[in-house]
Chains A and B, each alone.
Chain A
């Protein structure tokens, strides 16, 4: 134990033995710019002088040909000449050694007489991994729990005599959801950056993520992080003061900013995308979050936490769920039509197959929900305690199916829809691991 403590103290005292750092201040050309003609030089400005490694600056086209000449250091700048570039999309990958020997690196893209590819489509960038699917799923779960718990308290339980202890539990559930959403957001942003940088973890820690922060995904991550930090603060205030009012801005912010996922996803960038697809996706995600999260909160907290509210809550939730499901189905159908140019894409394209799985799960959940609405609902008035407990378990089962729907949605968001017929875009080739 003593040896462990001594080792820890020594490791903290001399961290520089293992690491060092220089920060990139600016680049020429800038991240993601479209140039009318190829640059003659690439310039990286650091906050301190750096040492060059072989291949310090590489300018890569869509098939990985390097157009950069040898790099040299000019003060705190690294400059490399570039051979003439044709029309196309280009990726700059750089690495350098800081003054005390730590390797820093980064990547950005630009286009010549064409748009720069997204940083995730830079040459050598990797595709989404299983870990990314899991993290995206956790993100959805966190968002759904926050929106569902808040929506249940503010809409379904509005005007009912909610016990104080239950109010506190709902606030804890909503806060827990916001916390998970924040952590998963950081995880998703890190993994997406790692896809672009393609560095082992030790080097990734010192990788420059600012080009990723300037993408749509990065901006959505920033906006959602700030929004859900505020949500967490409002929910905490509601818990602290035993008041419902702070939950109102928390719910509004969460519902608006859940749309960050839409702005950063396929609905914003793929061919056929428009403000209508972004709006539809926002409605789809928002309504699904409220439905699944509300159901989970009802089954997990309220059903057994406040038995006296069961009947009123069940009826009210059933009414709200009908509207939400209509919104989910309407928006989802519209998006499926836009994203899948042909019906056979449903079984021939990877995206379509994941969509089929999701549709199967949604239908299962819908059937279960319909059973609750049309069979259980009318029998609720004359139900005894044992029957009501069984309904609670059934609601929990339906919400587990909802959680599985979110997993399918997470995989779907990370998948690319099949290309639409028409002229192809000039983008860098993505190398999948």
Chain B
């Protein structure tokens, strides 16, 4: 019934990578070209909102500790808020650019939740290390949408944000071992532990 944690991490890794690639494309070709097909404007904000909705099942099904539940719940909420605000800005339902502050808010909440919900130290295990780096990546990433409020057309800032999100995606992929799902890829890895 409950999907494996590995699958869930990889699923969200794919989703976030897609968001990042859309942002990168938009940064490279410029917003005008990116939005030549109107639906593209809705693509990554809609995806972010959808990922937020899909985080609710993760919150509800993974209850092996209260703090995990709260972390997943907070990510679901801030991703829905930020994605939803961006969609509303694109659609014209919201007009104030200050609504884009929901992105730094989302990144800060996500980063703090990553760091606080990982109870082990940096070098305890790979996943612990990556949870810490993910947390700090999100905290650093919060600077980009903040600066974009003042320099909205800066290619460097937009590309930087996109690349930071790519980094998040890569870390999410690497956060879980392949062995529990596919077995060890090399016999040198020895006996499988779980």
Q: A-side interface residues toward B, CB under 8 Å?
A: 12, 14-16, 19-21, 23-25, 47, 98-100, 102, 104, 186, 190, 193, 204-210, 212-213, 218, 221-222, 225-226, 229-230, 232-233, 236, 239-242
10 A-B residue pairs with CB within 8 Å = A12-B135, A16-B118, A23-B65, A100-B120, A104-B65, A186-B59, A206-B67, A208-B64, A230-B53, A240-B91
Contact B115 A12 (CB under 8 A): yes
Cα distance, A16 to B132, chains bound together (Å): 10
CB distance from B73 to the nearest CB of A (A): 6
Contact A232 B80 (CB under 8 A): yes
A-B contact count (CB 8 A): 100
- Tell me which of B53, B57, B65, B76 contacts A208 (CB under 8 A): B65
CB distance from B146 to the nearest CB of A (A): 16
A208-B64, A209-B65, A240-B88 in contact; A226/B57 too (CB < 8 A)?
yes
A99-B124, A100-B121 in contact; A225/B56 too (CB < 8 A)?
yes
Contact B57 A209 (CB under 8 A): no
**Which of A16, A186, A204, A236 has the most C-beta atoms of chain B within 10 angstroms of its own C-beta?**
A16
**Which of B66, B67, B135 has the most C-beta atoms of chain A within 10 angstroms of its own C-beta?**
B66
- Tell me which of B60, B80, B120 contacts A225 (CB under 8 A): B60
Q: Mark B56-91, 1 if CB is under 8 A from A, else 0.
A: 110111011111011001001000100010011001
Contact A229 B53 (CB under 8 A): yes
Chain A interface mostly: helix
List the A side residues contacting B65 at CB < 8 Å: 21, 23, 104, 205-209
B34 within 8 A of A: no
Cα distance, A14 to B115, chains bound together (Å): 9
Contact A209 B66 (CB under 8 A): yes
B122 within 8 A of A: yes
Cα distance, A205 to B66, chains bound together (Å): 5
Cα distance, A19 to B67, chains bound together (Å): 12
Q: Which residue of B lies closest to A203 (CB)?
A: B66
Cα distance, A104 to B64, chains bound together (Å): 11
CB distance from A215 to the nearest CB of B (A): 11
Q: Which residue of B lies closest to A99 (CB)?
A: B124
Q: Which residue of B lies closest to A48 (CB)?
A: B125
Cα distance, A233 to B83, chains bound together (Å): 11
Q: Which residue of B lies closest to A230 (CB)?
A: B53
A226-B60, A229-B53 in contact; A98/B69 too (CB < 8 A)?
no
Contact B66 A193 (CB under 8 A): yes
4 further contact pairs, Cβ within 8 A, besides A209-B63, A213-B63, A232-B80: A15-B119, A99-B124, A230-B53, A236-B80
Cα distance, A206 to B194, chains bound together (Å): 22
Contact B73 A186 (CB under 8 A): yes
List the B side residues contacting A102 at CB < 8 Å: 119
Cα distance, A200 to B155, chains bound together (Å): 50
Contact A16 B67 (CB under 8 A): no
B116 within 8 A of A: yes
Contact A225 B59 (CB under 8 A): yes
B174 within 8 A of A: no
Contact A100 B53 (CB under 8 A): no
Contact A16 B121 (CB under 8 A): yes
A186-B73, A226-B57, A233-B53 in contact; A98/B64 too (CB < 8 A)?
no
B112 within 8 A of A: yes
Contact B116 A209 (CB under 8 A): no
Contact A15 B56 (CB under 8 A): no
